[in-house]
Each structure stands twice: as C-alpha cells, then as structure tokens.
Structure 1
Amino acid sequence: MIGKASTLGRVLVLAGVTVVSGCAITPTDFSAADMNRINASDRQLAFAEMEPHGELISLEEAIARALKYNLDQRVRMLEQSLASGELEAGKYDMLPRLMASAGYSWRDNYGSRYSAPYTDPENLDTDLSTVDVSSEKTHETADLVLSWNLLDFGASYYTAKQNADKLLIANEKRRKAMHTLMQNVRTAYWRALAAEKLSERVGATIRDAEKALQDSVKLADERVRAPDESLRYQRNLLENLRLLESVERELASARIELANLIGLLPGTRFKLEEPAAHAKPLAVDVEQLEVRALVQNADLREQFFNARIAAQDTRKALLKLLPGISFEYGGYYDNDRYLIDEQWRAAGVKVSYNLFNLIAAPSRMKAAERNETLAEARRMALQMSVLTQVHLARHQYNDSLRQFGRADQIYQVDAQLEEVVRGRFQSNMVGEQARISANVTTILSELRRYQAMAKVQESLGRLQASIGLEPQLNSLDTTSLHELQGQIRGWLEQDVSEMVAMVNTPAEAEPAQ
C-alpha cells in the first residue's frame, strides 16, 4: 500500500508540474519583420482583384469603385455573410444530439467486491472464496446515444429565428453603409474636381501676387509712391494671398479623401470628368416621402427587427420556466468478458425542474417584458426621428439647390468682370493689383460654385438615405466594374421624384439585397 501511495504521489506531482509549466505563457510581440510581411500581404490581398483605372475617372466609376473596392464596405459585406453563416449553422442546433463515443479502460487490479452476507463492515469475512470479480482489468467500450431535450429544442428554435432577424439587420446595416459611402463619394468627388480645376490657377495667382507684393515693397523703399498708397496696395495683396492660401489648403486634402473612398492608394494619379451640374427641385409631396421612409429607411427597419428579437427573448424566458423533458435512446458495447451481454440497447425519459425557477420567474418575466417594451419605445422614437430627417433633408436639398443657383450666377458675373479687367490691364488702364483681385474673386466664386454643388450632392444623398432609395444592384462579387458602372450611371440619371413615383405601393418595395 505504501508503494502504491508513493507511485500515485509521484504521478500527481508530475501532472501538477506539467499543468503549471503549460500555463506559464509569456506575451509574444510582433517583430518589425513580421509586421512588414503581414502589411505587405494585406496590401497585396486588398488590391489583388481590383481592375486598373484609366486616366479619367467619372462620377459613376468613382461610386462603382467605392461599392466594389472600399475596404469598409467589404467589412459590411463580410458581416452580412457571417450572419448568413450563423443562421445556417443555427438550424442544426434544433436537431437531436447523436453522441458517439469509444474508450479503453485499464486498472492495476480486478474490480472485485465481497459477496459475503453483510454483518459489520469492520468484520467482513476475508476468505477469497467469497470475492466476486465484476470487471476485467482492461476492456473496451463504445456507445451511440441519441438524446433530445425539449427545452433545448425550443431555445434553439427561437435562437434560429433571432439569427434570421440578425441576417436582415446585417442587410440593413449594409444598406446604411452603402448610402453613407455613396453620399461621401459624391461630395468628395466635387471637392476633388474643384481642386483639380482650380489648383493650377490658384498657384499661378499666388505667384503673381507674391511678385507684385515684392515689387510694391521695392517701390515703397524707393519712395516712388506715397507711403499710405503703397501700404494700402500691399494690404490688398496680402488679403488676396491669405484668401488664396486658404483655398489651396482646403483643396489639398480633397483628392486624398476621394482616393481612400474609392479604394485607391493615396498619391495615385488620376483625372476627374466633370459631370453635368443638373439637379431638379423635388416634384413630390412630403407625405409621399414620409410614407416611403417609414417603410424603407434602413435604421427604422433595423429597429423593427430588433423589436422582434426582443419578443423572441421574452418567449425564451417563458420557455425556461417549463420543466425539462429529455429523451434518450442508444446502443452500447463492452467487451468485458465478465458481462453476459456485450451489446445492449437502452432508452429513457427524464423530467427535471429547477425549483428555484419559481422564485426567479417573476423577475425574469419582468426583465424580458421591459426589454421588449424598450425595443418598441426605441422603434417609435426612431419613427419620429425619421420623419424629422425626411423634412430636414427635403429642406436642405431645396435650399442647397437655391444656393447653387445663386453661386452659379455670381460666378458667371465674376468671370465676365475678370474678362473686362483683363482687357483693361492689357490696355494699361488698370494696374496689377486690380487684375490679381479680379482673378482672386473669380477663383473664390468658382470654388463656392463647386462647394455649392458638393452640398447639393450631400443633401441629395442624405435625402435618398432617409427615404431608403438606392440602386438595385446585382451581387458585387459577380458583377464586373463596367457593368456596375452602367447600373450606377442609369441610377444617377434618374430624378428623385421619378424614383419615388416608380414605387407603386410602399409595402411592395423591397430593399436592395
């Protein structure tokens, strides 16, 4: 007995040392070489399937590239794919459990017991003739058991329904991300277009203004002009330089932002095609926009599904209050030679109930009902928020249209004034400062015109997002960039009023898949 205890002690010590040494895990940082390798691999994967761009990029191509190659958009698509996989995997949780197992058993002595009549455990007869052997030292076992729990089935059923709603929520989140991405691309495109059209003129005018400023300082030092006249002249030039530098600073980041949105590396060289700056006032009643938004707004649809998920949580809470009923049926095998039958089948039914559920039931039910009430309250609050969004987006769109029209008129007048001043300058009727001021005024007017159109595109995208309008596209994975570009072009050519009118009944409208 002492030898066996000593052996057992050594085994336990060895097992303890093994467990402790296995748990002694130290943090392992990434080396610079590993991070460079991973970054290079990620960059290669990110741009592996990207179609090369031409020298000129149109607005529809920019939107198509953003939808197809923008990395954030890819993340939303992968989230939707993950939700679809969870829905498919969750269906199998409703099946019964079919457990197969096999094993090998060993012990250092026979499993035996005394069969003498029981008198006193301390005075058992130790005659070996009264000892029965119940099992071999070594034997193999195997079994295949089918079990099914009614409560597990019910919980899995409601979980599967929740996973189905989560898939629809992922679809709505993808729609919302697509609305935001398209809105940002349209805004950034016009800002980058302004940078492309104006950067050369801004740079040339800055150089002319700096040269004129240097000449003015030189003339002031030589006392050619009166001091106050020279200082006023320099003040006007400095003010024009300040305005031009602010324009240059604002335009500098536009192309970088657009390149990031459409999936291109910063610094990629490309030119932009100026689209026709046409936008029509809304020719649809706000009531029609409200009806459309209450059915198709992505945020509101998401809350509808969240409320349904909360209702399923309430049913799952009710299910936990029921007794557990489980069924089991299986086949068993054991090659122990002391058994009369090596194979046998067994079945059983078991009912169990946690009596503490009677105490926890009221609080669980109240918590589930409050969760459902909260989800419904969020949905109702969001309905009012969506209606407010529709009215604000409609107002901002109409206002931005007016602002663009006014900015375009001012630009046309300033451009004509610049032509007049240029002609007078060539005829020596006005000085350098007047020509530079006219150039700066025209540049600022043209910049405000592009900015106004960017605001129009931004407000239009916000309006379309609020009422749930987006192009009906095929799968982005199987659609080529050229086909996607054609679909986007057709969508951009449609007027918002026409798109709303195309929906016969809001309830029949389906979101983009």
Structure 2
Amino acid sequence: MSKQELTDGLATDRKAARANVEPVTGKLTLEEAIARALKYNLERRSRMMEEAIAFNQFDAGRYDMLPKVVAQAGYRWRDEELVSRSKDSVTGLPSLANPFISSERAATVYDLGMTWSLLDFGASYYGARQNANRVQIAAERRRKAMHLLIQDVRAAFWRAASAQRLQQRVAETIKLAGDALVDARKAEAEQMRSPVESLRYQRQVLENLRLLEATNQELATARLELLHLINMPLTTRLEVEEPSEALSTRILELPVERLEDVAMGLNADLREQFYNARIARDETRRVLLRLFPGVSFNYNLKYSTDSYLVNEHWQEAGAIISFNLMNLLSGPSQMRLADAGVSLADQRRMTAQMAVLTQVHVARLQYANAIEQYQRAEAVAGVDAKLDDIMAKRARLEVQSKLESVANNTTAILSLQRRYQSLVQAHTAASRLQATLGMEPEFDSMDDMSLSQLTSIVARALKSWNQAELPDGVRIEEPRQEQNKNSGRS
C-alpha cells in the first residue's frame, strides 16, 4: 500500500466510526453515558455483527435441506467421425454391414436435473439445528459483552466525575506547594532557618507535591477513557452530572437463594454451555446418520442437437443406494468421539453452574464490602473537608504557614479521591453482580431506537436495580435422599 492509500483508508475508517453519532449537549448523565456506549461503542457493534453473521449462517444453512437443481449446457466437437463396428452375437464374427456413424462430430447438449439425497437432507437438518444454537450462543456472548461494557462505562463515568471535581483544586494546591518550595529554598539560601529545619520543611513540601502530581496524573486520563467508550472524539469538552441517588443496598437484603435462582436462569455463560451441550448432542445424531446407507433420487430433462438421435428430447429418472463400507470400521470410533463430546459439554455445563453459584456469593460479598468501604471513605472525606475548611479560615487570617495549607489541602484532596475510588469500586461490584445475575436493559432493535428512548430504558433498568426488582429465575431443588438411595441401588 502506498502512503496515500493508507492515509485515505484511515480517514475513511475514522469518518465511518463517527457516522450518525449524536454530539453531547449539556452535562452527560450516567444513564446517557451507558445508552451512548450501547448504541455507538465500536466493540459492541462488532459483537452485534458477529451475531448477525451467525444468524445468516443459520438462514443460509436451511437451504442445504432442499433438493439440488442443476442446469447445464455443453458443446462437444471431434475432428473425426465417430465410426462404430459391430459383430454377430452368435458367431462372434464381424458383421457384414459397413461401419456406421451414430453421432455428429459437433453437438450441443442441454440438461436440467434435480437430485435429492436423504442422507444429505438429514445431515443438513441437524446442521441447521446446530447453527440455530450457534445463533443463541452469539446472542449470549453479545449479552456478556454488554455487561462488561456497562461495567466499564460506570467506572469511567465516576472517574471522570472525580477528575471534574478535583482537577482544578489539585492544580491550585500544586501551585501553592510550588510557591512554598520556592520560599523554603530562599529561606535556606538566606540562612533564615537552621539547615536541618529548612530541609525538613522542603521534604514535607516535596512529599505533598509528589502525592498531588500522582493524583493529577491519575485524573488526567479519566475523561479520555469515557470518551472512548461512548465513541466521541477525544478532543470533546465533556462535563458529567453526578446522580443525586446514593448507592442502594436493597439487593443485599434479598436472600441469596433468590439471587441464585435468577442467575441460573439468566447468566450468559451458563446459558451458552446449555446451547453447546445441545450442539454436541446433535453432532452425535449427525455421526449416527452417516453410518446409514445413502439413498438418492434424480430426475433430468435433456435435449441434444445431435441430428442422428431419433428423440432429441428425453427424460431420465433414477434412484441410487450407496454405502461406504469403511464406515463399518470407522463408525464405532466416530460414535465414541461424539459421545465424548457430549460428556465434555455436560461436564462444562455442570462446571459452569457451580462457578456461577460461586460467582453469585462472591459478587454479593464484594458488593457489600464495597458499600461498606465507600461509606467509611465518605465519612473520612467529610471529616477532612471540615478540617480543611477550618484551616482555610486560619490561612486567610495568616495564622498558619503555607506548608500547613498545602498539607491540609493535600489531605482533603486525597480523602475525596479515595471516596471517589471507593465509589468506583462499589459501582464496579454492582455491575459485576448484575452481570452474574444476567440482568441488563431490555430493548428490541437498537437501530430503530433513538438515543433518548434508549436513555429512558437504561434509567428504568438502573431504577429497577436500585429497588431490587429482579426477574423470575429458575428454581433449583436439591434431590431427595430417597431418590439418591434408589439411584444408587439401580
């Protein structure tokens, strides 16, 4: 590729990636951020295309069950006449008749035929069933990708909110720390303080400055991460609006058995394993079908321009029974392989079920711990904010030094940052628990839905989550002891 071709291709891709993306107007809410990610995120579009390809494979595979209808037209030519001899069937002597010509040297042949194989029909039927299950697998993978995307958006949104609230204050405190450092070095040069006291003063300022610069570096990329997830230009000026509602703990008040039931019915990983097991069982049927003889039917309409033919138009029909004798040798091993595939799929499904049950308990515990850590961090941030307000008043009265102002501001900033970090972890834990339960916003076609409509659906979904409104799950009952004994005897 030339440099110009590469440049043009990159420009075309960038224009296509931003096509039909509505610009952000006003402050960006959490609901709108999730809706924009669901509608415009490029990785989500790729997942949707994978599902569309799986559906098209299923749709195209259904035609393999139909008979094959073939139209042919051909032309033949030879440089010499097709001359034939004959001999007497009784004596075996050559016939006294002269050699005869029964075909023209050049002729055109037309053929329209239909062929249908019962064996191919059966294999195509089970192949279509497998493709239908693969469509469902693609849908479950799309759901899982949606859960991860919502989790990333919620975390990036709150990081952007913390950057929006803290960056200006961090910049002002860094400037104040720089001024304090200049004053300390000037006092050291003029020997206004003892060398040890002056160096300790500088070290404290530098330590606070290091913490502030690390905080500023962490906050700098938050806005870019959110812009990438919602597929907006990275130069977009973005302002987020923090939700007024606090994190809800109602989901933690529900019995864990209720959460298990929901996860058993809606978890994307577990549902995918069920579809894989169905594909493995259909594969055993396909292998078993190949062990039977093949029965084919054909019917042809033919026409030839050969003038030696008495009947230029004719029809042909036939039936063929075929059997590959090597299947007698390979059949048992193929069946064992197919049965092993079924056993593996069942084992993976059982493993996934146990893993999902564990994930429910772990995600619930992580969410409870994250809520607790957030509440503690919020309390600490509140105390530090009050202390900082008192020290700021003292600074205005010139009662305290610049070092004390820098230290107090740094402490308050770090406390507020830890509060936002705890909030990010709490929202990440909430999204992880939602993904484990298999809960996501429910909508039909996203292409036919406006951004405002999708935002409303996301808002209702978040409200349902805060109110702990869970869908119906699958009740899992433990087998009775008598059944276990009977199965053991049998």
For the aligned pair, the TM-score class normalised by the smaller chain equals over 0.9
* 1:79 Cα deviation after fit: 1.0
- Counterpart in 2 of 1:340? 310
* 1:218 Cα deviation after fit: 0.9
Please list, as runs of the form range in 1=range in 2, the aligned pairs for 1:34-433 lying within 5 A after superposition. 34-117=5-88, 130-276=98-244, 278-281=246-249, 282-433=252-403
* 1:495 Cα deviation after fit: 3.1
- Counterpart in 1 of 2:437? 467
Task: Return the alpha-carbon distance in structure 1 between the equivalents of residues 91 and 188 of structure 2.
Answer: 127
Q: Give the AA of the match of 2:232.
A: L
Q: Give the AA of the match of 1:403.
A: Q
The alignment partner of 1:494 has SS state of helix
The alignment partner of 1:135 has SS state of coil
* 1:494 Cα deviation after fit: 2.5
Task: Return the alpha-carbon distance in structure 1 between the equivalents of residues 150 and 429 of structure 2.
Answer: 12
Task: Return the alpha-carbon distance in structure 1 between the equivalents of residues 116 and 466 of structure 2.
Answer: 55
- Counterpart in 2 of 1:485? 455
Task: Return the alpha-carbon distance in structure 1 between the equivalents of residues 452 and 248 of structure 2.
Answer: 27
Deviation by residue 1:339-391 (Cα, 9 ceiling, x = unmatched): 11111111111111111111111111111000110011011011111111111
Task: Return the alpha-carbon distance in structure 2 between the equivalents of residues 405 and 97 of structure 1.
Answer: 69
Unmatched tracts of structure 1, length 5 or more: 1-29, 508-513
Q: Give the AA of the match of 1:173.
A: R
Task: Return the alpha-carbon distance in structure 2 between the equivalents of residues 417 and 31 of structure 1.
Answer: 63
Seq. identity, %: 45
TM-score (norm 1): 0.89
TM-score (norm 2): 0.93
The alignment partner of 2:468 has SS state of helix
Task: Return the alpha-carbon distance in structure 1 between the equivalents of residues 178 and 375 of structure 2.
Answer: 33
The alignment partner of 1:499 has SS state of coil
The alignment partner of 1:271 has SS state of coil
The alignment partner of 2:155 has SS state of helix
- Counterpart in 2 of 1:20? none
Task: Return the alpha-carbon distance in structure 2 between the equivalents of residues 215 and 496 of structure 1.
Answer: 52
- Counterpart in 1 of 2:480? none
Task: Return the alpha-carbon distance in structure 2 between the equivalents of residues 173 and 426 of structure 1.
Answer: 59
Task: Return the alpha-carbon distance in structure 2 between the equivalents of residues 287 and 497 of structure 1.
Answer: 18
Q: Give the AA of the match of 2:98.
A: T
CA contact (8 A) 2:147 2:440 kept: yes
Deviation by residue 1:192-246 (Cα, 9 ceiling, x = unmatched): 1111111111111111101111110110111111222212211111110111111
* 1:472 Cα deviation after fit: 1.1
CA contact (8 A) 1:244 1:440 kept: yes
The alignment partner of 1:115 has SS state of coil
Q: Give the AA of the match of 2:242.
A: E
Tell me how large the CA RMSD over aligned residues is. Answer: 1.8
CA contact (8 A) 1:115 1:130 kept: no
CA contact (8 A) 1:116 1:130 kept: no
* 1:267 Cα deviation after fit: 2.4
Instruction: Check 1:317–1:395 CA distance in 2 against 1; reply closer, same or farther (3 A cut).
Output: same
Task: Return the alpha-carbon distance in structure 2 between the equivalents of residues 131 and 276 of structure 1.
Answer: 104
* 1:40 Cα deviation after fit: 1.3
Instruction: Check 1:119–1:213 CA distance in 2 against 1; reply closer, same or farther (3 A cut).
Output: farther
The alignment partner of 1:325 has SS state of strand
CA contact (8 A) 1:314 1:365 kept: yes
Deviates more, 1:173-182 or 1:130-139: 130-139
Task: Return the alpha-carbon distance in structure 2 between the equivalents of residues 209 and 119 of structure 1.
Answer: 123
CA contact (8 A) 1:283 1:497 kept: no
Deviates more, 1:268-277 or 1:391-400: 268-277
* 1:493 Cα deviation after fit: 2.1
CA contact (8 A) 2:264 2:473 kept: no
CA contact (8 A) 2:266 2:473 kept: no
Task: Return the alpha-carbon distance in structure 1 between the equivalents of residues 292 and 216 of structure 2.
Answer: 71
- Counterpart in 1 of 2:479? none
Task: Return the alpha-carbon distance in structure 2 between the equivalents of residues 229 and 32 of structure 1.
Answer: 62
Q: Give the AA of the match of 2:31.
A: E
Deviation by residue 1:450-484 (Cα, 9 ceiling, x = unmatched): 11111111000000000101111231100001111
Task: Return the alpha-carbon distance in structure 1 between the equivalents of residues 427 and 317 of structure 2.
Answer: 70
Unmatched tracts of structure 2, length 5 or more: 476-490
The alignment partner of 2:253 has SS state of coil
Please list, as runs of the form range in 1=range in 2, the aligned pairs for 1:8-27 lying within 5 A after superposition. none
Give the number of aligned pairs: 473
Q: Give the AA of the match of 1:182.
A: I
Deviation by residue 1:30-64 (Cα, 9 ceiling, x = unmatched): 21111111111112222121112114211111111
The alignment partner of 2:334 has SS state of helix
Task: Return the alpha-carbon distance in structure 2 between the equivalents of residues 497 and 269 of structure 1.
Answer: 34
- Counterpart in 2 of 1:5? none
Task: Return the alpha-carbon distance in structure 2 between the equivalents of residues 240 and 112 of structure 1.
Answer: 107
